[in-house]
Amino acid sequence: MTEVISSETTSSRDQKRSLEVFTLITTVFIAGLCSIVYELLIATTVSYFEGDSVKYFSLTIGLYMASMGVGSFTSKYIEKNLLFRFTVIEIALGFLGGISIPALYFGFSHTNYFQELYYIITIMIGYLIGLEIPLLTRILKDYNSLRVNIAHVLSLDYFGALLATIAFPFILLPFLGTFRSGLSFGLVNMLIAFMIIRVFPQTFGRAKKPLWILSILATLMIAGTIFSAEKLLKLWDDSVFDGRVLLSQETKFQKIVLTKNKSEIRLFLDGNLQFSSSDEYRYHEALVHAPIQHTAKVNRVLLLGAGDGMAVRELLKYPEIEEITLVDLDPAVVKIARTNPWVREINNDVMNTSKKVSVLHQDAQRFLMENTQAYDFIIADLPDPNNNALVRLYSKAFYRLIRRNLTPEGIFVTQAASPFFTGKAFWSIQKTVAASGFSHTKPFHVLVPSFGDWGFVLAANAPLEMKRQDDLPATRFLNNKIIQNMFVFGKDLTPPDVNVNTLDRPILLTYYLDGWQKWSRQ
């Protein structure tokens, strides 16, 4: 009888020990998963607001790693009650990590200390994460040898990080967005605390009840924020964007916001204005009609970007155009152009009614590399070069691909930011287009009240001369005299000394950001 009881006791102890080991190993995996997700979310969010993704991803990684190092170093001073202290760290990390993205949203829209808040949050989260692994390794010493513990802890931590990097672009951003993803992983972090309190009740003694209460309160706060996320995001949108927010959507490529102020409709991508219905026709008429006046024949047109349909509307005023291929990376933008009643009214519903238009959702550079049929007219109506992902679409290599995809008599035009506000960026684009091998380039500009003085660069291998003096279709703004004047620049817009923008040295990003920062300080 004694032997039976002893056997049952041993089996019970083995089961309890197995549960404890499983809990700690699961904790290691979840810790690795959450740590990378927080890092990616913070870097992505700051890049949305500030541009320059390379700068802020580099800063975030650097601050994160340094803070983790400090956390790992100071963990040696924690000598007693390791499991209790680890649980407190997880509660703090779950709460801070969970609210980190909402805090950054709030800091951007309601304070003048966004950068400082970004540094503080990044350093604090990095420090707490740095404490995790050393403490877990020491806690596990009661179960396995140091050799086995280090192997298990590091391998599971790395596997968790791998899963996070896969989930982030394919699941978290497309389906949850940055705001909800941060909150959701705060709850995942809180799960660690609940698991440890549940599995190791004897370790905490009197502290067990306060830990339960603290964990539950933190969880309820995070969960409440998740349930209120839609309202909070709407309040944030309303505080940042003028007018009533009609649509706010975060895709894996960008944040899209559509607003309405009286009769004016505005579209924003990552906070940057793409068009205003009050004057978009000035921009799109200049983009389309000024270049076409310099060519005798246009049958096949390639549009890179321009998913809102406005450029298509202008192109369809030429009956001779037989085919328009529109390449836009984000399907959500084209969907808005096809389904949103306000945008459909502005673009004359051309995205639904014209059989001449075919749409491809593909990277513009990849399309140009794979395309085999030349075009008479190529338009690059791409977002401003405010991050490295976009700067490559203004590079010498990209423009060489454009030239390769043109017919011998074909023409190319790109929007080129503001020659007034971002002069160095504008003239760098012009110089880059010329350096890519085009025989002829002609910069021009037009006043668009919503944007200011806005620039374009026209290029071709054949001489650029006005060939359609009396063949301008119906327009709201342009006439032949205005077109001629658009190619004239005042003395205050004299080309500065700038460099060509290349993939290896994307100097355009510096020119662009420096230009806007100069004016934002005034």
- Distance between CA atoms of 76 and 473, rounded to whole angstroms? 76
321: how many CB neighbours lie within 10 A of its CB?
Answer: 17
3-state helix, strand, coil in the chain (%, to 5): 60, 15, 25
Three-class secondary structure of residue 90 per DSSP = helix
Among 412, 413, 406, which residue's Cα sits nearest to residue 375? 406
Residue 66: partners with Cβ closer than 8 Å, 6 or more residues away: 126
Q: Which amino acid is at 393?
A: L
Q: How far apart, in whole angstroms, are the C-alpha atoms of residue 127 and residue 122? A: 9
Task: Give the span between the Cα atoms of 190 and 94, in whole angstroms.
Answer: 5
- 261 CB contacts (<8 Å, ≥6 apart)? 242, 243, 244
d(CA 481, CA 485): 6
Q: Is 102:232 a contact under the CB 8 Å cutoff? A: yes
C-alpha distances in angstroms, 289 versus 90, 122, 317, 356, 482? 60, 49, 10, 18, 11
**Burial bucket for residue 476 (CB in 10 Å: 0-12, 13-18, 19+):** exposed
Tally Cβ neighbours within 10 Å of residue 484.
14
Pick the catalytic residue from 381, 470, 504, 514.
381
Q: 101-135 as b/e, with b when 16 or more CB fall inside 10 Å?
A: bbbbbbbbbeeeebeebbeebbbbbbbbbbbbbbb
Q: In a 3-state reduction of DSSP, which class is residue 462?
A: coil
Q: Which residues lie below 8 Å from residue 79, measured CB to CB, with a gap of 6+? A: none
CB 238 within 8 A of CB 261: no
CA distance 485 to 237: 39
Which phi and psi (to 5°) does residue 408 adopt? -55, -35
381 is catalytic: yes
Cα dihedral across residues 42, 45, 50, 55: positive or negative:
positive
Q: Rounded distance, CA 95 to CA 494, Å?
A: 53
Residue whose token pair is 């806005």: 454
How far apart (Å, rounded) are the C-alpha atoms in residues 51 and 351?
30
Q: Which residues are identified as catalytic? A: 381
